[in-house]
Amino acid sequence: MRAFTLVFNAFFNSFEIIRRAKLKKFYFIPGFISIGLFLIFIWLSNLLSLNISTSLENMFKLQHYHSFIFVFIRILIWVCSVFLYYLVYKSILIIVLSPILSYMSEKVESYLTDVTFNFTMRDNFNFILRGINIGIKSFFKQILGTILILLLSFIFPINLIIPILIFLIQSYFTGFSFMDYTLERHNLTPEESLNFLKKYRVEATLCGGIFTLLFFIPLLGIFLAPITTCIATTSITLELLKKEGIKIPKLEMK
């Protein structure tokens, strides 16, 4: 119950932090990048569906049948491509946005703690590489986990909760990616971060789950989800680090 209270309070307070810390510009940067990725993926989906449909038409001589078959196959492939897009897009977006999200997380921590970070260019570059690395690893773990869950769809009654299981595993790793921006600044190794995640898996899953729900709000979600989740998860992670005995000076909601 404490985890739910901590997470939901942090997301509620994130809007006040955005206003007071003058972070409103970060609504738009991730949003426009997200729109760009969406348009690229739709273009690739159309291209892929056309090429596969044409290949199947030539292979099975579909032109001898009704043209409806060709159209149906193309639509089916396009729908599958879009489904794949929604399945993996969050991970791709987080990987692309990792430099911005890492910077945003640092600004939020500075605001909450009154501590100014003086990282070198090399430090910031290492942070970016680590964020990308964590994002890529999380992406493949999500895909593997999703495939394993789909294989269980043949087992009753597990097949009744397949969508919930996929949502939870996606949320778990998404939350970890957002948490790690703070953990890396406090010198936790990737292994230590993973242990931290296992200990606070509920908080990570809730953060990732709220990100996913916000992200699926038509149009508004792509602008809202990245910044609010980054700010909320940063403040949550700082509270959890403080709970672990790591000194976090002047941590408070201003």
Q: Under a CB-based contact definition with an 8 Å cutoff, are residues 48 and 77 in contact?
A: yes
Q: Under a CB-based contact definition with an 8 Å cutoff, are residues 94 and 208 in contact?
A: no
C-alpha of 102 from chain center: 13
Per-residue pLDDT tens for 73-116?
A: 667 666 666 666 666 677 777 778 888 888 888 888 888 888 77
Contacts of 39 (CB under 8 A, 6+ apart): none
* pLDDT at residue 167 in the model: 85
Spans of the chain below 70 pLDDT: 45-71, 73-74, 76-88, 118-121, 123-124, 247-254
* pLDDT at residue 18 in the model: 87
Helix (H) or strand (E) holding 65: none
Instruction: Annotate 107-130 with three-state secondary structure.
Output: HHHHHHHCCCCCCCHHHHHHHHHH
* pLDDT at residue 83 in the model: 62
Name the amino acid, one letter, at 165.
L
Burial 173-190 (b: 16+ CB within 10 A, else e): bbbbbbbbbbbbbbebee
Helix (H) or strand (E) holding 1: none
* pLDDT at residue 233 in the model: 94
Tell me how many helices (H) and strands (E) the chain has.
Answer: 8, 0
Q: Which of 35, 90, 132, 39 is nearest to 229 (CA)?
A: 90
Q: Under a CB-based contact definition with an 8 Å cutoff, are residues 146 and 169 in contact?
A: yes
Q: Which of 217, 191, 182 is nearest to 112 (CA)?
A: 182
Q: Give the Å distances, CA to CA, from 6 to 1, 39, 48, 72.
A: 9, 36, 44, 48
* pLDDT at residue 62 in the model: 56
